[in-house]
Structure 1
Amino acid sequence: MLYVKAPAKINLTLDVLGKREDGYHEVEMIMTTVDLADRIGLESRNDGQIRIISADRFVPDDHRNLAYQAAKLLKDTYGIKKGVSITLEKKIPVAAGLAGGSSDAAATLKGLNELWKLKLTVDQLAEHGAKIGSDVSFCVYGGTALATGRGEQIQELTAPPNCWIILAKPSIGVSTADVYGGLKLHEVIHPDTKAMIRAIQEKDYELMCESMGNALESVTLKLHPEVSTIKEQMTKFGADAVLMSGSGPTVFGVVQHESRVNRIYNGLRGFCDEVYVVRLLGERDSLD
């Protein structure tokens, strides 16, 4: 069995610039990986089948699963006769705005590259990832990056200023399609992506906190008022900045001083079952 880590991501910024002819939205976002991760186990099969094994009842075990799609894409593209059993040990909440499914797909691409000895470069894997989903390319690279286009064009950034991240996910799932469907482009509040890039390059923690923004937040907050409650509580308990990740519903708070972390964590546990304290990973993994 070959094991690969699949880390979650958060959006420090998420901007929507317009609707594209292909039906997707043109986005500009800064994403970074955190040390909350699924573990993907890959085992070769001789019957040519792709099997998904997961104890999480919310995880599809068929062609809807992005890890399944990643395996099928490599199998079809490179004429692989062997099959694979993909065991998903989920730690990242499902339908949470943390790219859990996309990260599982990226880890599957990286793992099968090794298992099936395909000798593909990370750029080639990211290209394949873009065919599966908008966040998969970023998840192949990991680290911190500016993502543009529909999210598949990746420009590497240095690690953000070091800090603690507190993640809180209410017990609801959010459909990304519904959130984008409810977005009124003329009402979008655009985050300052350039200021965030500067904050990251200059390791300016205060500027990073000031520059956080998510154009989808207003839509999700209308659909799910409990997301607003978590944001308010996190701010009240002392987070330096608070934002929803992706299309939600997970909210994250940024904290520089460890002394405040426990207070926020314990305070949120009263409102929310799923609360995590994590660190930023910040840098890209190599394929070696």
Structure 2
Amino acid sequence: MTGFAADAGWSAWPAPAKLNLFLRITGRRDDGYHDLQTVFRLLEWGDTVYLRARNDGIIRRVGPGADGVTEADDLLIRAAKYLQSSAKCAQGAHIGIEKCIPMGGGFGGGSSDAATVLVALNQLWQLHLGVDRLAELGLALGADVPVFVRGHNAWAEGVGEQLTVMSLPPAWYVLVNPGVHAATASLFQSPDLTRDARPATIAGFLSGNVLDNAFEPVLRRCEPAIEAMFAALSSIGTPRLTGSGSACFVEFATREAAEAALAALPSSLHAWLVRGADRSPLLDAVGQFR
């Protein structure tokens, strides 16, 4: 990307998006958070984070961040400063980003960006922190950050941080973003949200019987654009919501089937095709850096 050239000292790091292949809320905790179950599927599509280390301890964003996000509130900057203070590191960094993941869609863009900053600066600053420590730091930034730090598809419980690595079959996804920004905090407060769902099992998920998302009925009821999106996608398969966002997906076993389905959708939909990843491309980037 223009402005982040390698010969100017910049390095590029992938920040992949994710899907929640299902999501259940099984209880509410004493601390106000919710216990949930989900399966995280990483995607071969996402943002790109650009980093350039500096020696004076200053951490600064270069170029625009996500739409409407000030530098003070930017999760990229927060992640870098939290890593710096936790590791008592005297180094700093310039940080830039090429955004592809829409905000509020449920694709985990902010969490993935933060995870990439933690993992990549751990390499650039030569901190030698292990993945468990980086995941612990990530959890303080957001419940979805640890899965991106670890970089594997996973069954998740707790607030999303209790991860069991899963091997998922190859899949292609038709993704649709209705352009509605779903506010997670507000959704969790909705009186219509089911908070005591029957716990699922990994075997139940693998059998194909667990596809529900606790936020789907809430969002379909309050957002006409999301209801219209579900109606359109029902013509090509079984649409599912991802996370607590507004975006939706339909899964296919082959690229050919997914391409045919995408071609059958109205051109008015903001739809595109993405392949599911076996593991995060961030892991490969770290391996190449070493």
Is this a same-fold pair by TM over 0.5?
Answer: yes
Unaligned runs of 5+ in 2: 1-9
- Report the CA distance between 1:57 and its aligned residue: 5.4
User: Which residue, 160, 167, 175 being the options, matches 1:167?
Assistant: 175
Using the alignment, how far apart are the partners of 2:22 and 2:269 within structure 1? 24
CA distance in 2, matches of 1:99, 1:180: 17
The residue type paired with residue 167 of structure 1 is L
Matches within 5 A, 1:99-138: 99-138=108-147
Separation in structure 1 between the aligned mates of residue 199 and residue 177 of structure 2, nearest angstrom: 23
* Amino acid of the structure 2 residue aligned with 1:244: L
Deviations 1:138-197 (A, max 9, x none): 111122111111111211111x12121111001121101111111545576657443454
What pairs with 1:41-120 in structure 2 (closer than 5 Å)? 41-55=50-64, 58=67, 60-120=69-129
Is 1:277 equivalent to 2:261 in the alignment? Answer: no
Residue aligning to 1:217: 216
Aligned partner of 1:258 among 236, 249, 255: 255
1:22 and 2:7 correspond: no
Task: Give distance in 1, aligned partners of 2:113 and 2:76.
Answer: 6
* Structure 1 position 3, deviation (Å): 1.7
SS in 1 for 2:138: helix
User: How far does residue 248 in structure 1 lie from its aligned partner after superposition?
Assistant: 1.8
What's the counterpart of residue 203 of structure 1?
none
TM-score computed with the length of structure 2 as normaliser: 0.87
- For 1:196 and 1:40, the matched residues in 2 are separated by 37
**How far 1:114 moved relative to its partner?**
0.5
3-state DSSP class of the match of 2:120? Answer: helix
Residue aligning to 1:142: 151
The question of 1:244 aligning with 2:253 is answered no
Output the CA distance in 2 between the equivalents of 1:187 and 1:56. 34
**TM-superposition CA deviations, 1:178-236 (whole Å, max 9, x none):** 11111545576657443454x2xxxxxxx33x421111111111221211221221120
Amino acid at match of 1:3: A
Which residue pairs with 2:6 in the alignment? none
Match of 2:11 in 1: 2
Letter in 1 for 2:76: A
- In structure 1, stretches of 5+ residues that fail to align are 200-206
Give the equivalent residue in structure 2 for 1:178.
186
CA contact (8 A) 1:113 1:120 kept: yes
SS at match of 2:62: strand
Distance 1:269 1:69 in 2: 40
Structure 1, 129-138 or 263-272: larger mean CA deviation: 263-272
User: How far is 1:271 from its partner?
Assistant: 3.4
CA distance in 2, matches of 1:246, 1:187: 15
Shift of 1:32: 1.0
What SS does the corresponding residue of 1:219 show, helix, strand or coil?
A: helix
Judged with a 3 Å threshold, the aligned counterparts in structure 2 of structure 1 residues 232 and 192 are, in CA distance, closer, same or farther, namely farther
Alpha-carbon distance change, 269 to 196 in structure 1, aligned in 2, over 3 angstroms: farther
Identity %: 31
2:187–2:193 CA contact under 8 A, matched in 1: no
Contact 2:180 2:225 in 1 (8 A): no
Give secondary structure in 1 for the equivalent of 2:40. strand
Letter in 2 for 1:51: R
Distance 2:111 2:221 in 1: 26
